[in-house]
Amino acid sequence: MVVLCLALTAEAVRRMLAHLRQPGWIPIVFAIAWMTGFLSWAAADGRIRLVSLLGGAVALAIPLVFGALGGVLGERAGVVNIAIEGQLLLGAFAAAVTASMTGSPWAGLVAAAVAGALVALVLGLFAITYFVDQVIVGVVLNVLVVGLTNFMFRQVLTPHADSLNSPERLRAVPIPILGDIPLVGPILFRQTPLVYVLYAVVALVAFALYRTRWGLRVRAVGEHPKAADTVGIKVNRTRYRTILLAGAIAGLGGAYFSLVSVAGFNREMTGGAGFIALAAVIFGKWDPIRATLAALLFGFATNLQGVLSAIGSPVPSQFMLMLPYLVTIFAVAGLVGRSRPPAADGVAYRQQ
């Protein structure tokens, strides 16, 4: 396995130096070979249950996939969405409060989507309408949401925890027949309803972005807004609608923290998941399917470090948490293919 990984790395470096296109099979074969060898070594004295490892990875990747999809949509439309972290956090807050008040976790999911869209609306107001630097607006929104939710948690939720911060959790719901498929069933079809919503959202976003007129317009305003405006596409209106949808999707990811992971909201409970989702967007080359796979890789690494710690593996847990970020750096550097954002990403459009 070591020899194979070294050979693949050498071939990737050769192609990069020669400015040749990186074939997709190189990173796939490398990842499979490296992971097989690594797991064989790390679990030499212990046992790793593959179903638990992969099923846990899917569960931990829920907010990352939702956040990555929101990031892909926003940047495909030409808006850099640094505020994914804020959308996840406000979504978690709104989901906990609404589910507690109504007694329905489904109402909490709707509230999470609305909260994410609200953050996106503020982002659009400053970045699209008033041409403020999009990165700065995103950073400010993240800080604002952290401060707002911390204040509300301390002043409102803590004194009234029984009525405002005790939501019903979303429980795992196995799908009949599909859940009984060997290996695949327990991993993919014995999850919480939020995971099944995630499957539908990934499929719809991937289809809509590349197979519909709406998706063509979104990609047009992200690549060449002036040309899009010339053929009659309302650039800023399209960007507004797209980032509102992106914010709602990211907000759904926030519901994972307060309705699935734990029952209730806590301060800064997202733990930087929005920034990991941004890394997944870059690693996935601004494509919804690839970004989803990148987010699953991050979820796998997070779950693996916990499993290895539980079986007493000699591998430091910090190494596993660091690994996806190293892979992302290699991706941006071109070792696993060129990573190019949409041409007008982050560029405000002023209609002539």
- The DSSP result for 101-121, as a single string, is HHS-HHHHHHHHHHHHHHHHH
Instruction: Please name the CATH architecture into which domain 56-333 falls.
Output: Orthogonal Bundle (1.10)
Lookup: tokens for 145: 């949401």
Considering Cα of 104, then 292, then 321, then 39, what sign does the dihedral take?
positive
pLDDT > 70? residue 343: yes
Q: For the chain, give the percent of residues with pLDDT over 90.
A: 51
User: Mean pLDDT over residues 115-119, rounded?
Assistant: 97
d(CA 258, CA 25): 38
Give the model's pLDDT for residue 322.
75
Give the model's pLDDT for residue 90.
96
Lookup: tokens for 259: 């309705």
pLDDT > 90? residue 219: yes
Radius of gyration of the chain (CA): 21
Q: How far is CA 315 from the centre of its chain?
A: 26
d(CA 302, CA 10): 28
Give the model's pLDDT for residue 294.
86
| DSSP code per residue over 14-33 | HHHHTTPPPPTHHHHHHHHH
Select from 196, 219, 199 the least CA-distant residue to 287: 219
pLDDT > 70? residue 93: yes
Give the model's pLDDT for residue 76.
94
| Calculated CA dihedral for residues 331, 217, 201, 279, nearest 10 degrees | 20
Higher pLDDT, 332 or 71: 71
Q: Which of 16-20, 62-66, 172-176 has the highest mean pLDDT?
A: 62-66
Number of neighbouring beta carbons within 10 Å of residue 267 = 15
Give the model's pLDDT for residue 8.
73
Considering Cα of 94, then 96, then 101, then 105, what sign does the dihedral take?
positive
Give the model's pLDDT for residue 257.
94
Residue 51: helix, strand or coil by DSSP? helix
Higher pLDDT, 37 or 232: 232
Q: pLDDT per residue over 223-274, tens digit each? A: 999 999 999 899 999 999 999 999 999 999 999 999 998 889 999 999 889 9
- The residues that bridge with 337 in the sheet, in sequence order, are 335
Select from 272, 213, 222, 271 the least CA-distant residue to 246: 222
Considering Cα of 37, then 38, then 42, then 46, what sign does the dihedral take?
negative
Minimum mean pLDDT among 133-137, 206-210, 296-300: which range?
Answer: 296-300
User: Mean pLDDT over residues 282-303, rounded?
Assistant: 87
Q: Residue 350: which pLDDT band, with cuts at 50, 70 and 90?
A: confident
Read off the DSSP letter of residue 77: T
Cβ–Cβ < 8 Å for 24, 215: no
Query: Could you tell me which residues come within 8 angstroms of residue 34 by beta carbon, excluding any fewer than 6 positions away?
Result: 1, 5
Lookup: tokens for 57: 């990875």
Q: How far is CA 45 from the centre of its chain?
A: 34
pLDDT > 70? residue 34: no
User: Mean pLDDT over residues 192-200, rounded?
Assistant: 94
pLDDT > 60? residue 198: yes
Outline where 165-272 has alpha helix (H): 184-188, 193-211, 213-223, 225-230, 235-256
Cβ–Cβ < 8 Å for 214, 221: no
Number of neighbouring beta carbons within 10 Å of residue 61 = 31
Query: Could you tell me which residues come within 8 angstroms of residue 123 by beta carbon, excluding any fewer than 6 positions away?
Result: 79, 81, 83, 134, 137, 138, 141, 243, 247
Query: Could you tell me which residues come within 8 angstroms of residue 35 by beta carbon, excluding any fewer than 6 positions away?
Result: none
Give the model's pLDDT for residue 136.
94
Give the model's pLDDT for residue 284.
85
**Mean per-residue pLDDT over the chain, rounded:** 85
Select from 334, 278, 228, 237 the least CA-distant residue to 75: 278
Give the model's pLDDT for residue 313.
63
Query: Could you tell me which residues come within 8 angstroms of residue 7 by beta carbon, excluding any fewer than 6 positions away?
Result: none
User: Mean pLDDT over residues 289-315, rounded?
Assistant: 78
Lookup: tokens for 108: 């909490």
